[in-house]
Amino acid sequence: MTRERMMGEKLFHLSHLNPEGEMKVTLVLEPRSNISSGESPLSPSAVSHSDSASSTQSLSHGGVPELLVGLSYNATTGRLSVEMIKGSHFRNLAVNRAPDTYGKLFLLNSVGHEMSRCKTSIRRGQPNPVYKETFVFQVALFQLSDVTLMISIYNRRTMKRKEMIGWIALGQNSSGEEEQDHWEEMKETKGQQICRWHTLLES
């Protein structure tokens, strides 16, 4: 009842409009889940170049913090690539201004021990920050079903104070169905990047 789901979208350039009178145009909408690096004109690179376009809008319209993540895995090299693309509806709860945010990524083994970690640079004063940062983890094919990728978004309030905006987990201990589906789709596509929006869970 409270969740809205985007069924499809299309980027339409206003330069194509006829300045004289009306014009009728039929637009073929594309499902968001099909957005990948090769198939759709609304790939993550297109998203970053048209930041004000509808293609950058997240799934929900209720102001819930969300994160657009790209995943790909190369079984030959054992490289798990995670792209932090952009966020949506990040809020600063303490003061009435846009937050200074960054992301932390942790790769955990089957018993929850940390295998690797990294973090993005800070995006200052942006409620809808564009990160466009890619991180590569070495994961053997036989380990892929046993690892968990945790992504947390933090608001840095001062040099020493930070607060978590939200988090998601993908892999063995996924935090939800969307996350599990994204992970499984990444494994099935064999090296092609799969991009999906994820609603951040509260800390």
Domain-located, residue 52: no
C-alpha to C-alpha distances, 104 to 136, 138, 140, 169, 198, nearest whole angstrom: 13, 17, 22, 12, 15
CATH number at residue 195: 2.60.40.150
Count of the separate structural domains present in the chain: 1
Residue 74 in tokens: 């190369």
Task: Give the whole-angstrom CA distance, residue 186 versus residue 126.
Answer: 29
Range of the domain at 190: 66-199
Residue 94: predicted pLDDT = 62
The model's pTM is 0.69
Q: Spell out the per-residue pLDDT of the chain, length 203, in tens.
A: 556 667 778 887 777 777 777 778 888 887 754 444 344 444 444 443 333 333 344 555 457 899 999 999 999 999 999 999 999 988 776 667 788 999 999 999 999 999 999 999 999 988 899 999 999 999 999 999 999 999 999 998 776 778 899 999 999 999 999 999 999 999 999 899 999 999 999 87
Domain-located, residue 165: yes
Domain-located, residue 195: yes
Residue 37: predicted pLDDT = 39
C-alpha to C-alpha distances, 162 to 157, 182, 200, nearest whole angstrom: 5, 29, 17
Domain-located, residue 25: no
Domain-located, residue 191: yes
